[in-house]
Each structure stands twice: as C-alpha cells, then as structure tokens.
Amino acid sequence: MGRVLGKRTRHAVGIGLVAGIVVIYLVMVGLANAFAQRPAITGIGVESGPGLLTLGRVMIGGAFFLAGLAVGSRFLGPQDRRERLLAVVGGSALTGAVGGASLGAFMLFAATVPMSDIFLPVTQGAVSFLAFGNPPEIGAIAWILIGTLTASAAGALALLQKRDRSAVLNGIAFTLLVSLIEPILRPILGQVGLREVTAFLYSGGGLTQHAAVFLFAGVVIASWAWERPAAPVRMRMRQMPQANRRRAGLAFAVLAIVGLLVLPQISTGFVNQVLVNVGFFLMLALGLNIVVGYAGLLDLGYVAFYAVGAYTMALLTAPTSSLGGPLTDLGGVEYGFWLALPVVIIVAALVGIFIGAPVLRLRGDYLAIVTLGFGEIARFLLRSEAMRDSLGGPAGVVGIPNMHIPFVGTELVSAGEYFYPVVGFAAIAAYVAWRLSNSRTGRAWNAMREDETVAAATGINVTNYKLLAFALGGTLGGLAGGLFAVQLRSVYPDSFLLIISFTALAIIIMGGMGTIKGVVAGALILVGLPEALREFGEYRYLLYGAALVAMMILRPEGFFPSRIRRAELHEDIEREEEPQLPESHGGPPAETTRGVAVPDTPR
Amino acid sequence: MLRGVLPKRLTLVEVVLWALRIGVVVFVIVGAYATLSQNKLGASGWVLLTTSGLSQGAIYALIALGYTMVYGVLFMINFAHGEVFMMGSFAGMFVAMAMSANGILEDQPLLALPVIFAAAMITSMLVAIVLERVAYRPLRRAPRLVPLITAIGASLFLQYTAFGMFGPRARRYPPVELLQGRVDLFGFSFQRIELITIIACVVLMAVLYWFVERTRTGRSMRAVSENKDVAALMGINVDRVVVTTFAIGGLLAGFAGVLFSFLFNRVSWDMGLLVGIKAFTAAVLGGIGNIVGAMLGGVALGVIENVGPSLLLLGFDVPSSHQLKDVLAFTVLILVLVFRPTGFLGRKDNV
C-alpha cells in the first residue's frame, strides 16, 4: 500500500495518525475531560453555558492544528505555485482528516464497547461531550471536518511569509493565554477597579467573542509591525545610545519591582497563594540549580533539604513540638523566626555536607540514585512511628507562630503578606546564585562539570567545591523549607514527597540549566500556571514528565540556556558523532559553539 | 596491616567514610545481639520473616533483571522500569476482573492464570518497547545524565498516565482460591502464594539464564554488552538487541507485577516507583550488568528488608520497627553504592 501512496501521502497520513493517537490519549487519560467545562471563548454556538469552544475541545483541535503546521512546513518543496499550494493544503488537510477519523473511530468504539471500568475517564458522558452532545456517528463526522479544516488552515500558514505567519501564531497563542489565565487576571482586574474591562474580556470563565477577536487582531497587528524590516520602534531601540539603553533597562527594572510590590495588594488570596508557592519553588530550583546546573551533580533527593529546613524551623519555633520551640521562648513570637533562620541555614548546610561527603566519588548516575535514597529515607523517618516522639510522625508539627516583621512587630498572616518576605528571600537567593555563577567558584564548578579529571589537574580542589555546592544548594533548599513551614504554620511528612525534587528538576531543565532567567521562567510556567488552572490538578505531573522527555530529546539546553551550557551539550553530541575529527582541527566548528570560547576537553 | 587500607592523609571525607563503616558494623552487631539475647521472636517467627523475604526478594530479582540487562547493554538506569512493572500489574488485573466476571477464574484457575500472566507480560513488554523507541533511542549517544533525566520524565509520565486512566484509588485482584491458604512444610506453616512465587521466579530465572547463555540472541546480547561498536562490526544488529533486551525486561516485569499484586493484594498507580528503586538496589547489590548477580541481589535485599528491621531494632524496643523496612532498603542502597559499587559480582569497568 505504501508504495502506491507515494512518500508525501504516507508522511501526511503518518503524522495524522500520530495526532490521532495523541488526541485519543488525551481523552483516555482524562485531560480533555478535565477541561471539558472550562470555556476558551464563551458562548460560541449556544446562548448560555460554556459554549462549544471549551478548553478540552481547543486542546484536541490544537493537536490537529500543530499536525497541520508540521505537515505544511515540510511540503514546501514544489517550485510551481499551484503545485505547492496543492501539496501543502492537500497534505495538511489529509493529515487533519486522518487525525479526525482516528478520534471518530475511537468515539464509535467507546460508544459501543463501554470501557469506563478500565479507563475511568472514558465515560459515556465524555463520549457525548466529544460528540458535541450528538450521537457518536455525527460527532465522528464533525471531528473529521474539524480536523481537516484546522489542519489545512494551519498548513496554509506555511505558505505565508515568515513575518505574517509568526504574527498569526502569536495572535492565537496570546489570545489563548489570556483565556487561560482568567482565574488570575479576572480577580486582579476586578480589584483594580477595571470592571468594564473585565466585563469586556471575560464571561463565564472564558474570553468573550468580542475580546477574542479584539485581542487576536491587536496582537497580529502589533507583532506584524514589530517584525517589519525597518520597524520604527525596533529601529529606535537599536539606535539608542548605550547610556539611554541602560537607563531604559533600569526604568524597566524599577517598574517591575514596583509591580511586584503592588501585586499582592491588587490580587486575591488565591492568586497570592499561587505566587507564594511559585516563590518557594523558585528558591528550591535556584538551590538545585547550584548543585545540578553549576556543579553538574544530579541531586534527586533535594526535597530532603526542604524537609530539613521546614522541620528545623518547626521544632525550634513551635511551642507544641518535642523541643518546645526554644527559640520562641527565647525571642518571643516576634523574634523566634529570625533567631531560628540562621540555625535552619546552618543545619541545612551541614546536612548538605553530610550527604555530600560519602557520595563524592560516585559517578553521575549513581550519585543521583544515592541522593534519591537519602531523600526517601528522610521522608520515611519523618513518617515513622519510631520517630513520632521527636518529629511528630504522620501528624507532623503544628502551631508554628507566624512571622513578625522585626522592630515593627507586625504579624504576617495572609498569603499576600507572606509574599514580600518570600520574594525578598528569593531575590537574595537569585542574587547569590548570580554572583556565584560569575565568580571564581562558579568557574571552578564549570570546569568540574565539564571534566573532573582535568579540573583537578588544573589545581581545583574538586572535593571542596563539590561539598560547597551541596552545602550552598542545601542552604537555599533549607531556607525555602523554613519559609514554607512558617507560612503554612505546620509541617507534615507528606509535604515532602519525591515529586518536589522532580518538580524542581523539571523547572531547571525547562528553563535552562545554569541560568537564573531560565529558573524564574520555569517556576512561573511549571508551578504558577498549573496552580492557577485548577483543572490541571495532578495532571501537571504528567506535563512535567512529558516536558522532561521532550526537552531532553529536542532541546537539552532548555529554553533560556546559558551559553556555556549550550556549547557543552552540543559539543558533546558533535564529538560522539564524529570521532574521526582530528584533534588538531581546532575543536568543533564555530557554528555549534556560537562564538564562545570553550576549552577543548579531551576525553 | 592497616597501612595498605588507610590512606596516607586522612581527609574529612575519609573520616566521614570510616566513621560510617564503623558505625554500621557496630550498629548491626549491637542490634542483632540485643534482639537475639532477648529472644523476642521464636524460630517460627524468623522462618516466616525469611520466607516472606525470599518471596519478595524473588520478585525484586525479576524486576532487577530488567534494570541490570538494560544497564549491561546501554549503561543507563532505566528509571521507568518500575512503571513498566506497574502497567503489567494493571493489565493482569483487568483480564482477571473480566474472567472473574465470567466465572472462568473460579472454574478453571489453571487455564485462567496463564492468560492473566500472559496479558501482563505482553503489556509490560509493549510499554518497555515503546519507551525505548520514543524516549531512549534518540539519546543513545548523549551524555550520561541525559538519558537518566529522560527516564525520570518517562517514569513520571507513565505514573500519571496510570493515575489518569485507572484512577487514584488502589485496587485489587479478584481472589483466586488456588493461591490462598497455607501449606505445612518442615513443621512450619507457609503462605501458599509465597511458595508459588519463589518457585515461579526460580523457574523463570533459570529459563532466562539458559536464554542468555545458550541461544544465539543471548550471545549477541552479551556481545553488545561487552562492546557495542565491535558487536556492530561483527554483524550484530545492535538496535534489535537493545529492543530485545527491553522486551525481555518488560516480560519479566509483567510477570513480577502479577505475582506482586497477588502477594500484597494491591494494584495502584504509584506502586512502581518504590518497588522499582528497590529492584534497582537489588541489581546494584548483586553487581549491575550481571544477571546472576541481580538474582542474588534481589533475594538478599528481600531477606534483609524483611528480617533486618526485626533483627536490628527489636532489641532497642523501637516501636513498629517493621515500618522502617524501606529505610533499611535505602540504607543498603546507599551503603552498597558508597562502599562497594561493584556489588557482589559486578565488573569493575561498569563502575
């Protein structure tokens, strides 16, 4: 059959089948259903209710759209304009039709053979949702049509100029994003008093139709104007003298800081809690970034530091704990936290050294597993009956007094008030990490990560630098844990699951190992977005898993890579593939290192 | 005599390591003496703990074989192998439930059980093959930590796939009369399922040993594990050998999944992680890359984990010491990796 169809057709059908499998997976795992009731754009097709365009369906359509885009951009081969149009649009339409047909076949199957005993999300309700409330046959035909239309529209985008295409894609992405962050943006806009804007933008949990059109058109025009070959805005920015540009940067920074300071005042408790959680994970990821990103030691038991910090804080300050909160006795509720904080930091650093010392000589992947073992031991000990008298067992430690601002004496209660110290400490952590990365220490870590033997030969004390990385990483993790304990006012062993280590890992992998910008972006996207979107629930970990696999395969350096890291990763692949490259050649081609001088590392 | 053992200059790390070594030995001796001198468990108690340790260990050994074979061929820790095991257990449960609904499971258990095992094994095998194809093959030549991170991602992905598809609640297999009850042997009373588990695992491991040592495919597997590039030059299709390795690991994990769920009467989306790490511990304990080592390591870990907490902690009157079996397993993992990363039978060049 394959011979007859021709290469292009086979290709289009193949991608269509992949899209179909992805979509069926989304339905079977329950993701499409979780977002079934959440409108993307309200009121399309029906007068009331979530309407036809819910996020669940947008997700499915999105898969077809991406498949069409992939096919379209690959079929640009033919020179003749008509032939090319036919290849691109026809190919992507075929892809969409195949994808839609797969989903349709699945719907028909699910409607006749009930499988909700095995696959819990595939209920008759879910099938009916997929079929737009119609019988499954009609739903199947509808999806074939939708798949064909979305995919061919996406494929046609490939025919456009790059600038036009990215303008349209930006428009779609931005409109979707504004719709997604409705739970965050709507309360904030409401608090600021922009009720008219809110009413214009949102209704019933999604964008209104007018707002969607308005946003899309606005972003398309803006993006198009920005990308114009000699766009005035861009030109002016490029021609700005250095001093002005620095001033503009400074102004932007001040604006961002003011924005951060005002943010908790204008948002609701829910949003503030999300932001505080992002802050905790930001600190965790910054600390893990020192160990993994800078020093190259994959620590999978990082959550142990979080737990150590939290429990140290709890035992030292909670009057009901086994220690009786000695530092609260000493300094009163006002200063208890501040007295405990240095202890927390020192204890976490010592634990870092204690864990680090025995594992120093282990090779990378064994080190990862050993640290994972430490993390699990910590959790089992916290939960065990044997340690109940000292650590509280499964019931944890409760009654940690709130943080007070020193000298002023104000008690912090709500998440909005905790936002400030959390952001403050996160900023300190980021500053420390940034200074470290550009220091002698940071360079030593770089060298060690690239090649331990060579680093040792150049006089770097590998042992000490590794221990330092563990201690500093542990410090930041412990600090995050201490703040977490105070903000929650209680600690439980089940707050310190392995998944926290993996979340922090996903953040730094996604953002780009070794860069602070990447860590911040990663924390906002991977922690902030799923927390804000309540529908995600536990599915966020599915997303982390997929993200880790996809990033490692497609873009191991992350979205905001440090230049050294990128050069390293690509050099490694380059070297493995071309072992016959003579050493005297002068290292890898300049294109892969992007002009960064990377020491030639013999292996 | 100590001159050869002790380094010339004691660094901080050396001090910590020696303190750890001495501490472990002292703790084991004192703990065992305290427990045994108080004679808290009778002989039958120890025998029962040992048999449950052996049966659990046999299951660890089956899963550990998957880790060790993949490590032998690709030098990567297939962190998602525990999830392969979990998926098999689920598949077996669904088949068992369907057959229980028809009454086949009760009427013809000897016919039904092989079908359950086959379903689990085939599912696990397919998951393992897809895993290799999608997640690991593109990274065959990447730096060493990259496949490990991918494997962690794949593990998360599979766990939460099961969470989403099969639900957050733990489930159980329908009861099979054939596997329940107790057997009296040598004056002790054993659980029947434990004995069946041990026997089944021994048979399966013998088959695997024969396969790897005597068949052509087994020989090419050993060749690839020795040196991938040279094996390719000898006309061995490395990709096919890798897939075969994953497939065999999956088959064994699926078998273990069914046994595990009959033994503990529990199937859940998060069962793979802990069992997987323990099986990896078993693989390391036996010497990673070594098939016989994985079997020995599995059995050793199972026994240590079941006998150890009572042996070491009962004497100190630690409350519910059995809860600490996981702590003990992880401690074994750490101690082995730190002090003897080659395990019982491992090759030096693997570490």
Contact B194, B264 (CB under 8 A): no
Could you report the per-residue pLDDT of B35-86, keeping only the tens digit for each? 777 766 677 778 778 888 888 888 898 899 888 888 888 888 888 999 999 9
Any chain B CB within 8 A of the CB of A577? Answer: yes
Q: Inspect the interface and report whether the beta carbons of B143 and A31 lie closer than 8 Å.
A: no
| Whole-angstrom distance, CA of residue A166 vs CA of residue A158 | 10
- Give percent of chain A with pLDDT exceeding 70: 88
Contact B307, B322 (CB under 8 A): no
In angstroms, the Cα distances linking A501 to A498, A543, B310, B333 are 5, 15, 31, 19
Residue-by-residue DSSP string for B249-277: HHHHHHHHHHHHHHHHT-B-TTHHHHHHH
Mapped onto helix, strand or coil, the DSSP state of residue A206 is strand
pLDDT, residue B347, reads: 63
Q: Inspect the interface and report whether the beta carbons of B152 and A300 lie closer than 8 Å.
A: yes
pTM: 0.86
Q: Inspect the interface and report whether the beta carbons of A358 and B333 lie closer than 8 Å.
A: no
| Whole-angstrom distance, CA of residue A83 vs CA of residue A68 | 18
Interface contacts A/B by beta carbons within 8 Å: 180
* Average of per-residue pLDDT across B120-131: 93
What does pLDDT average to over chain A?
80
In angstroms, the Cα distances linking B14 to A108, A362, A374, B9, B23 are 67, 14, 20, 9, 14
Residues 151-170 of chain B with CB under 8 A from chain A are 152-161, 163-168
pLDDT band (50, 70, 90) for residue B132: very high
Could you report the per-residue pLDDT of A269-281, keeping only the tens digit for each? 778 888 888 889 9
Please determine, for the modelled complex, whether the ipTM score is greater than 0.95. Answer: no
pLDDT, residue A597, reads: 38
Task: State the virtual CA torsion across A287, A288, A292, A295 in degrees, nearest 10.
Answer: 20
pLDDT band (50, 70, 90) for residue B160: very high
- Chain A residue with Cα closest to B138: A553
> For residue B150, which residues of chain A lie inside 8 Å, CB to CB?
548-549, 552-553
| Whole-angstrom distance, CA of residue A186 vs CA of residue A183 | 6
Domain map (residue ranges) of chain B: 14-350
The 8-class DSSP code of residue A134 comes to: S
**Closest in B11, B142, B334 to A374, CB measured:** B334
Q: Which of A130-139, A435-444, B340-349 has the lowest mean pLDDT?
A: B340-349
Of residues B41 and B89, the one with the higher pLDDT is: B89
pLDDT, residue A305, reads: 92
Other C-beta atoms within 10 Å of A68: how many? Answer: 35
Could you report the per-residue pLDDT of A3-21, keeping only the tens digit for each? 455 777 888 888 889 999 9
Contact A504, A281 (CB under 8 A): yes
Residues 470-529 of chain A with CB under 8 A from chain B are 498-499, 502, 505-506, 509
Q: Inspect the interface and report whether the beta carbons of B12 and A357 lie closer than 8 Å.
A: yes
* Average of per-residue pLDDT across B100-129: 88
Could you report the per-residue pLDDT of B198-226, keeping only the tens digit for each? 888 888 888 888 888 888 888 888 888 88
What does pLDDT average to over chain B?
83
Residue B186 backbone class (left: φ over 0; alpha: ψ -120 to 50; beta: rest): left
Cα angle, residue B258 at apex, residues B203 and B290 outer, rounded to 5° = 50
With a cut of 90, say whether residue A559 has pLDDT above it.
no
Q: Which of A183-197, B120-134, B275-289 has the lowest mean pLDDT?
A: A183-197
At B344, the amino acid letter reads F
Any chain A CB within 8 A of the CB of B23? Answer: no
According to CATH, what is the number of the domain B14-350?
1.10.3470
pLDDT, residue B82, reads: 92
* Average of per-residue pLDDT across A406-427: 81
